[in-house]
Amino acid sequence: MTGRLAILACGGALPVALAQNNPDAVLICFVGVPHGLGAEAEEHRFEKLGALIERLQGAGVTRVVLAGNLARPTLDPAVFDAETKALAPNLMRAMQGGDDALLSAVISLFEAQGFDVLGAHELLPDLTAREGLCLGPRPDATAEMDAARAADILAALSPLDIGQGCVVAGGQCLGIETAQGTDALLRFVAATDPACRPTAPGVFVKAAKRGQDLRVDMPAIGPATIKAVAAAGLAGVMIEPERVMILERDKTLAALADSGLFLATRSL
């Protein structure tokens, strides 16, 4: 696939890694959305999508990747440009749904304008974990059963577009990732009264929702995830192979070694 690339950057380390590996890319950030790309990134407003598309087309961009943590934007209809006004009903409707609905609307917009929308994992193939990955101590039978239980819970919730993470210990669900994200889930588990927790330490499972478009919302873990799992007193992390990104891999593996946790894959 050829053509110039544009990186639409949101929060986190992923846009930085993409920029480092694609030095000729057009770097785009958004008003009010933190990013780590520095002064080279051009700032645009979500309300001016028409102007952004015109800018990308003028720069010869044919490929687009949306990367990083995107908080739901606060939109000001008073400053919508003509193209955004035309999209407003679909965009506003999508914002009432889950993340998948909103991100699917964004994808549809760029595809309708002739752009190829890529996933970060297509540009950085080493982001995801291969089938059979197992680092740290091997999960015992209880951890495997807890991971299977968490996977069942996530599969049941997939049609509701709720979350990508779940913690199970001794067969009991201690928490599900919701709009507050992984960090909030793991803080909640860490704060749970020990009297309410089984003797089994438990497992954090991260997986994509069934039917999820992985080009824009592929689940991810990073060094902060490993530290939060350790703080929550869990035994380790189970992720879906090829469908979960490991960000800042060197730092993540270092955190894993320091914590004594396992990181393994499981087809869910």
| For the chain, percent of residues with pLDDT exceeding 90 | 56
pLDDT digits (tens, 9 = 90+) for 201-250: 999 999 998 878 888 778 899 999 999 999 999 999 999 999 999 999 99
pTM of the entire predicted model: 0.83
In the chain the domains, ranked by start, together with CATH numbers, are 4-123 (3.40.50.20), 128-265 (3.40.140.80)
Average pLDDT over the chain, rounded to an integer: 87
Residue 23 DSSP label: T
Residue 260 has pLDDT above 90, yes or no: yes
Residue partners of 9: CB distance under 8 A and separation at least 6: 15, 19, 27, 28, 29, 30, 33, 35, 37, 41, 67, 68
**71-83 pLDDT, tens digit each:** 666 777 778 887 7
